[in-house]
Structure 1
Amino acid sequence: MKTLFWRSLVVIFIILAVIGAILPGMPTTVFLILAGWAASKGWPEVDEWLLNHPKYGTTLKQWRKHGTVPRKAKYWATAMMAISAVLMIYTNAPLPVKIFTDVTMLIVAIWLCTRPEPLKEKDEKSHSFD
């Protein structure tokens, strides 16, 4: 039952990541990080596949090893959240929903921008403590 739970989360997060890769304003990397986290709990084959993915594997490995987020991902995520926050103001959603959503995105953007950035390969070798 526990394995089914983790695998269900993996599938949900991967679906959301695919949607994010297609749909502007929806993140991809965040959902892949979550998918990797869930896969590491109950689906090792998918965890390995994600970590070796040609496009996202390096980012996921850097997140896992150092908690880093590439600058480009920070810029895109922050820009998309800012656009979404402005668009939210013009929706018919109740005011408390607008405020909650925009404040949540602001908090996430601040948190995201405070994450360290990956070291360049040359810097990583000179700072390696392994």
Structure 2
Amino acid sequence: MPETERSAAHPAVRAGWLALGLINVALGIIGAVLPLMPTTIFLIMAAACFARSSPRLEAWLLGHPRFGPTLRAWREQGAIPRRAKIAACTGITLGYAAFVLGARPHWPLAALVAAAMMACAAYILTRPAPASPD
């Protein structure tokens, strides 16, 4: 976002984006610790929120040694690293298994959830891998 647009935003709007960014960072941290909860998607959303509220926090997140390269690859190329694709699809599979075993849904609900999760996995798998740095 251009600096003129960022500075023209109402302070309450910027505070709202900042709060959403901080909530997403908190959810990302929880996801880094808890199995089956995603991390990267929350950090992608946090970076987008910080782009509208705090250039300093946006730069911190994009420069983070662990998460920064993945976030930059997504932002610049729409790319997902191979390891992240494997982790995401494994998490989707384990999440679906936990859902089926724990909730014991009737087949129409199980099929609907399976279709939604397969659509998410297909989206992830069809993203390009990041271009290797030259």
Displacement of 1:68 in angstroms is 0.6
Which 4+ stretches in 1 moved above 4 angstroms? 93-100
> Unaligned regions of 5+ residues in structure 1, if any?
123-130
1:21 alignment partner AA: A
- Measured against aligned partners, the alpha-carbon deviations of 1:91-115 in whole angstroms (never above 9, x if no partner) come to 2375466555433322111111111
**What's the offset of the Cα at 1:64?**
0.9
Instruction: Report the equivalent of 2:3.
Output: none
How does 1:12-31 map onto structure 2 within 5 Å?
12-31=23-42
Matched residue, 1:48: 59
The number of aligned residues is 122
State the alpha-carbon separation in 2 of the partners of residues 62 and 36 from structure 1. 13
Q: With the length of structure 2 as denominator, give the TM-score of the two structures.
A: 0.82
The percent identity for this pair of structures is 34
Residues 1:111 and 2:88 are matched in the alignment:
no
Q: CA RMSD of the aligned region, Å?
A: 1.7
Unaligned runs of 5+ in 2: 1-11
Task: Map 1:1-130 onto structure 2 (within 5 A).
Answer: 1-92=12-103, 95=106, 98-122=110-134
Shift of 1:119: 1.3
TM-score (structure 1 length as normaliser): 0.84
Question: Which AA in structure 1 matches 2:124?
Answer: L
* In structure 2, distance between residues paired with 1:25 and 1:4: 30
Q: How many angstroms apart in 2 are the aligned matches of 1:63 and 1:40?
A: 15
